[in-house]
Amino acid sequence: MSRYLVTGATGFLGSHLVTELRGAGHDVVALCRQGEAAALAAQGAEVRRGDVLDAASVRAAAAGCEGLFHCAGRVSRRREDAEVLYRTHVEGTKITLDACRDAGVKRVVLASTSGVVAVSRRPDDIRDETAPPPVDLIAGWPYYRSKLYAERAAFDRNGPGFEVVAVNPSILLGPGDVHGASTGDVVSFLERRLPFIPAGGLSFVDARDAAHGMVLAMEKGRPGERYLLGAANMSLDVFFHRLSRVSGVPAPALRLPRSIALAKAGAHLIERARKRLPIDLPVDPVSAEMGQHFWYLDATKARRELGWTPRDPVETLSDTVADLRARGVVWPQV
C-alpha cells in the first residue's frame, strides 16, 4: 500500500477520492485549511493543517508521501473572481508541486477540467486530448483560463523523478456535493428557477467515477499526459428532460435558439438586470453564454489506457437528485 497527500480533500471530488483511497487500504494525508475535517479523520485519513499557497505547510504534509493528488481549487463562473481563481489554481499549483518535489514526492495526479480543451461552438466538434485549447473561448471565462494555466504549470514540472499526470473530468454530478460547487444548476432546476433551456450541450461524469479515474491515473497514467473523463455528451435540452423524468420536475418550456450572439446579448441584459433589480436572478451572464456552447468530449483514451469505465449516467442523475433531497438542499415535490 502507498501513502498519498491529497489537497482539496474536503471538496466534492477530493472527498470521494479519500474514500476510494482508504477503501483500497492506502494511507492518506489530507491537507486542510480549516474545519470540516471530521469526516476525513473518521475514515482514517491523517489531517494536516495547511494551505496550497503555503509551501512550508505543504512540504511538511508531504513528508513520507509517494504521490500527490492535487484537487484543491475554487469553482466560480464570476468574472470578478479572476484574481482569486488565478492565485488558487495557478500559484497554488506551482507552490504545491514544488514543495512536494522538495519533500521527495515522485508522482502527481492533477485534477484539471475537460473545459481546457473540450468546448466548442459546434455540436459535431467532439474533442479528445489531442485537441488544442480553444483559447479564444477560454480567455473570456476566468475559471477555465486559470485551470489551463495551472495545467501548463504542472506539466512544466514533469520530468525524470517527478512525474505529472492530469485528469480532466467534465461536470461532476452524483451524491456528496456538500458545498454546492458542481450541482448548483441541478438545484436551480429542481427548484424551478431556470427560466429557459440554453441551446448548447454538456458532458458530465459521476464524481465517484472521476475519483476512481484519478486513482487509475496514479497507477497507470503516462507522465505528461492528460486524460478526459466524461460519461455522457448530451444537449442541455436532453439533459434537463432526463433530469425531469428522474425527478418529476417539469423542464422549462422556453428554449433558446442556437446563437452565440444572442447568448452574449442575453448575458449583457442579465448583467444589467442583476445590477438594477433587488432580486437574485437564477442565471448569471457567464452561465448564459457558456450554455450556448458544446462541451462534448471523447473519453476513449482513459478507457483504453487506464481501464476506466463510468457508470450509467441515469444512475448518476438519480443519485444526485436523491442526495440533494435527502440532505434538504431541495424539498421533494408534493
The predicted structure's pLDDT at residue 255: 86
Using pLDDT thresholds of 50, 70 and 90, give the confidence band for residue 260: low
pLDDT digits (tens, 9 = 90+) for 218-241: 999 999 999 999 999 999 999 999
- Whether 127 is in a domain gets the answer yes
What span, in angstroms and rounded, lies between the C-alpha atoms of 58 and 48? 9
Cα separation of 143 and 88, whole Å?
10
17 falls within a domain: yes
Phi/psi at 169 (5° precision)? -75, 155
- For 170-193, b where at least 16 C-beta lie within 10 A, e where not — what string? bbbbbbbbbeeebbbbbbbbbeee
Predicted pLDDT at 77: 85
Distance CA 63, CA 61 (A): 6
Give the span between the Cα atoms of 54 and 93, in whole angstroms.
Answer: 11
Per the prediction, the chain carries an average pLDDT of 92
User: Active-site residue numbers?
Assistant: 147
CATH of the domain at 165: 3.40.50.720
Q: Which domain holds residue 159?
A: 3-175+203-231+298-303
Asked if the structure places residue 155 within a domain, the reply is yes
What is the arithmetic mean of pLDDT over 278-284?
A: 54
> Where is 172: in which H helix or E strand?
strand 171-173
Confidence band, pLDDT 50/70/90 cuts, at residue 39: confident
Residue 119 falls inside a structural domain: yes
The answer to the question of residue 81 being in a domain is yes
**242 is a domain residue:** no
Q: Please tell me the predicted confidence (pLDDT) of residue 277.
A: 47
Strand 232-235 versus strand 201-206 pairing type: antiparallel
Give how many domains the chain has, as a whole number.
Answer: 1
Residue 283: the pLDDT is 60
Q: Per the domain annotation, does 322 fall within a domain?
A: no
pLDDT(107) > 50: yes
* Residue 333 maps to a domain: no
- Distance CA(185)–CA(198), nearest Å, equals 12
